[in-house]
Amino acid sequence: MSTGTEGKKARKGPPRPDEVARAALALVDAGGLDSLTMRRLATSLGVQLPTIYRLFDGKQALLDEMSEMILTEVLDHVRPGGADWADRIAGFARVLREKLLAQRDGARIVGGNYAAKQPTLALADMWLTVMAEAGFAEKTAMWSGTTVFCYVLGEVLEQQGAAGDEYETLSAAMDVGRYPGLTTGSLEGFLDFDARFEFGLRVLLAGLKAECRPMA
């Protein structure tokens, strides 16, 4: 008689928080963030639902841990030092984008995370240190960080929300007589996520150089 457990390894103990978060990220990769439930997560780990709730008191706490896991990847791949502040900030922004895109719905998971665990705090500390060494005031350094971080989140959110048929949909809706500014070229540029990200990053860095003047 089948017990429904064939092929599964017997657990030697309850799962660790990082193991649960990793399993949750895998479920999101497979079905999207909206498909993630605590019950489905428990089933995937072969544990009872209360086991998950002993580690995380709700889905938001789980999302915070998932976010921290993504940011750990960012932290592991950011290389401090060796360049001026603008190059270091640009490098951080590119790594953040890469790691968010590597995880399905990565921007949705990380956006709004205020868990303030080690990876988040370490990244913030790194940013503020870079800007302080460049001579920027503390508040200016903080705001420049949130501006770049939110820019990356927004761009990744747009890209991850794209279903792949945007060109055909937008092209079919274009009416040159009614919207004379819209052309095939502008439409292609709108959907060139790599190029528009780099353009926006250059604009942000130019603005920081011009407006966030170092303290005398």
- Tell me the domain boundaries of the chain: 10-57, 70-211
Mean pLDDT of the chain: 86
Q: Please, are residues 155 and 197 in contact by the beta-carbon 8 Å criterion? A: yes
Q: Does CATH number 3.40.50.12160 belong to domain 10-57?
A: no
**pLDDT tens per residue across span 154-183:** 999 999 988 777 767 776 676 656 777 776
Q: What is the mean pLDDT of residues 129-153?
A: 91
d(CA 146, CA 142): 6
Return the structure tokens found at 140.
């200016």
Contact of 83 with 91, CB cutoff 8 Å: yes
Rounded Cα–Cα distance for residues 62 and 68 (Å): 10
pLDDT per residue over 113-132, tens digit each? 877 788 889 988 998 998 88
Residue 81's pLDDT band (cuts 50, 70, 90) = low
Output the CATH code of domain 70-211: 1.10.357.10
| pTM of structure | 0.85
Mean pLDDT, range 16-42, rounded to an integer: 97
